[in-house]
Amino acid sequence: MSTIKLKGYRRTDSLFGIRNHIVVMSTVSCANSVVEQIARADADIIPITHQHGCTHMGADTEQVLRTISGTCDNPNVGGVLLVGLGCETANVNNIASRADYSGKMVETLVIQEIGDLRKIMDTAQGSLRRIKEFVSKQQRNDFDISNLTVGLECGGSDPFSGITANPAVGLVSDRLVELGATVILSEIPEMIGAEACLESRILDDAVKQRLMARIKDYLQKAKDAGGDLRGCNPAPGNIKTGLSSIEEKSLGCFIKAGRSDINEFVEYAGHPKCKGLVVMDTPGNDPESVTGMVAGGANLVLFTTGTGTPVGNPVAPVIKISSNTRMYRRMCDFIDIDAGKIIEGARADAVADEIFEFLLDVCNAKQTAAEVNNCKEFAVNRIGPAF
């Protein structure tokens, strides 16, 4: 059993937040400007806006609702003000009823019900005062690292990602799994070409079949869209660094999942039921993938990058790990740890130790580069058209 204790905000017996954020969440794009105005008064309040919440249907609606409610229900969130328009699909009651929001305070505001902008602002400030009072009374408690959920992401991969940063993160992932934590691997299109490695790591036949079918589905979608994945994935930026095919990119990406068995295949923004290593159904698009994992409960994300990227998340710290020192030096404000030093002779396990220690510090309130830089991308993966 693990002996690593962290400090966090207790939501349930097994869910702890490593942050205690207050979020003003837009339930529909029509409310975005109002949400931004509400949050402007206080730098500690995090506004979350997006382009969705209405005129979608069926499974697409479900996914949008699951992502919005899941983000609000992430353990790192202590209080939420849901702001809706009134006539939308993703109305505040719909979002509020989709999760139990244990250990946090949720209030709602509907623009059409209040009417006047000044009244809306007054009502919102009243809600935020109550939420802030509630959140300020919450104390950090000891919790075991086995209650932590960590997402894995790579963005702007280069040929060194699979040689430096991803092997180091793979060692960290294995260590988290051994300690009983949950680790989420995502980005299904970046498994195309790595199926043979993946298959051998999945013990459950049903999980294996569903995941393999989903990978095929993505490949077919790419072909239906008028070609193969070349020019799109790998992206032009990947190709410029020397990555030549989706297989090469995928094989390098998959290394960040270490050597643990894969226990579950969970839908986009769904909550894993299993501990250990699980796979989430997300696209390779970084903000969408990170948003999905965080909506599914990830407390933080380990994000490797070769070409460099500022991408963060509104409620979960994102730890950036560079695959090469050349980029690290150029973009050091955006990067937390340089794994490129492995090329110069540093040991991958020493870099893994460095990442793990940094992760523990981040759990205990240290700010990541993405947090310091106020990088808070929120992007919902849509699976249907807007009508």
Q: Which residues bind another protein (CB under 8 A)?
A: 158-160, 162-163, 192-194, 196-197, 219, 228-230, 239, 241-242, 244-248, 251-252, 324, 343
Task: Pick the closer one to another protein by CB: 246 or 318.
Answer: 246
Task: Pick the closer one to another protein by CB: 248 or 371.
Answer: 248
Which residues fall within 8 angstroms of residue 224, CB to CB, at 6 or more apart? Answer: none
Min CB(242)–another protein separation in Å:
4
Task: Pick the closer one to another protein by CB: 69 or 250.
Answer: 250
The side-by-side arrangement of strands in the sheet containing 337-338 is 262-266, 276-280, 182-185, 149-154, 300-305, 318-322, 337-338
- Cα distance between residue 76 and residue 143, in whole Å: 14
Min CB(232)–another protein separation in Å:
11
Min CB(221)–another protein separation in Å:
13
Task: Pick the closer one to another protein by CB: 119 or 223.
Answer: 223
Task: Pick the closer one to another protein by CB: 172 or 219.
Answer: 219
Min CB(248)–another protein separation in Å:
4
**Other C-beta atoms within 10 Å of 111: how many?**
19
**Other C-beta atoms within 10 Å of 214: how many?**
17
Q: How many residues does the chain have?
A: 387
HSE-up (13 A, CA, CB side) for residue 145: 23
Min CB(26)–another protein separation in Å:
38
Min CB(209)–another protein separation in Å:
19
* Residue 72 · residue 99 · CB < 8 Å: yes
- Cα distance between residue 168 and residue 162, in whole Å: 9
Task: Pick the closer one to another protein by CB: 300 or 351.
Answer: 351
